[in-house]
Amino acid sequence: MGMRLTAHQRLASLPNVPTFKELGHPALNEIAITSFGLVAPAKTPAPIVARFNAAVVVAFKDPALLARLKELNAEPIVGSPRAFLRRAPPPEVAPNRHQSVRALQSSY
């Protein structure tokens, strides 16, 4: 058994290492992916969420931050709060993560 990645796509630093999804195991891929996100209290006004999100998008354009993340083999995916929620695996794959996503969705 060789190396495999739990990522949505191959890492630039390991271009010859396939993902579990590529090898026909999408459920393993989804269960093991670690996602990080920033959250605000429920019912935070949309303009505040948008302003905060815009600041995060700007921060992730910083070359020093991107270089450090690359050293750590972390590949950030920056987008909107709703895009983050859409990336969650289906409930049959990761029920605990699904419960967290439902709780976040209900805060809108």
User: How does pLDDT run across 38-86, given as a tens digit for each residue?
Assistant: 878 888 899 999 999 999 999 999 999 999 988 887 878 888 888 887 7
Residues 95 and 78 in one domain: yes
Residues 28 and 52 in one domain: no
Residues 41 and 16 in one domain: no
Residues 25 and 45 in one domain: no
Query: With 60 as the cut, is the pLDDT of residue 1 above it?
Result: no
Residues, the chain: 108
Residues 27 and 44 in one domain: no
Residues 30 and 52 in one domain: no
CB-based contact 19:8 (threshold 8 Å): yes
Whole domain around residue 92: which residue ranges? Answer: 36-105
What's the longest Cα–Cα distance across the chain? 49
Other Cβ atoms within 10 Å of 106 Cβ, number: 8
Residues 45 and 76 in one domain: yes
Alpha helices by DSSP H, listed for the chain, are 26-32, 46-59, 63-71, 81-86, 95-105
For the stretch 9-42, pLDDT in tens is 787 878 888 888 888 877 776 666 667 788 788 8
